[in-house]
Amino acid sequence: MEYINDLKWTKGMKVKDLVANYQNLGYQSIELKKASDVIVKMKKDSAKVFLTFTSNMVTSGLRGFFAQLIRLKMADIIVTTVGGIEEDVMKASGERFQVGRFDSDDVELHEKGINRVGNILIKNESYMRFEDMVLEILNNLYSKQKRWAVSDMLKEIGLTLSDENSILYQASRNDVPIFCPAITDGAFGFHLYLFQQKHPDFIVDVVKDFGNILLSTSQDEKKGVIALGGSISKHHAILSTLLNGGANYAVYMTTAHKTSGSMSGATTEEAKSWGKVQHESDIATVIGDVSITFPIAMIAALEELSEEGLL
């Protein structure tokens, strides 16, 4: 039987030492410790890891951490939404987002040409400069070939970037495919539409890329999912595992609740009813802000793996 223990700080405490204390602290701390343990098990078992996240996480400073994890071989497949692609490219070109407030005067921000994402501010000029870049990107793609699966297109774009903190940069150089099923759901999609009006033979093939993600793993491989947030990115990863025997490891981190019946709130336990996660798999569901929970759990895992010579 496990008992609750009091948390104590010790001088020189590492993140993994803090997280080790979480297993007897209570509430979501216990789940976070489980999540860190599952991540370690994925790596030790050489599982193919799907890392999924929504665009708001790329808006935040997690963007550089995701790129680092790709470089460290902690993710084999990325699934995200188009805002994350756009903002990764924007930041790779030197754009910087400002820290704001959740209680900002949004009418005033609109009049100043500033967009708010929670407590992060993005100027209209940042999107305008991105849109200027898009035409050059699309012309370059069109000159090479007329039909692109989304993940192939994103790899080609990543190869043109020079920022090592870029997700696309690291993925393109480490053979990690990036899948973005809803590629039209943003400014990039709008410019794809405009470009296609002038070049009707230019095709971005979303259906072909759906096949690519399904074939990115197999029944025989061990599979792990780290799903940050929910939405279409989470679902495409776990649908791929479902059609390939189910995930052996799964970590979900979200602010959504299971009572909503949503993909974002669906737990790792619920996933077992669909076969997305195997019945005997190692799982954890952490409820909380991913900008807090994910770095703590992952850094604890990285410290443990590093000490064992696995990084």
Catalytic residues: 276
Strand partners, 121: 98, 116
Which residue from 188, 305, 301, 290 is spatially nearest to 234, judged by alpha carbons?
Answer: 290
Distances (CA, A) of 130 to 98, 110, 165, 179, 308: 17, 19, 18, 20, 43
Q: How far apart are the first and last CA of the chain?
A: 34
CB 36 within 8 A of CB 297: yes
Quick one: which of 292, 285, 281 has its CA closest to 41?
A: 281
Please report where in the chains the tokens 């405009």 appear, as a residue: 194
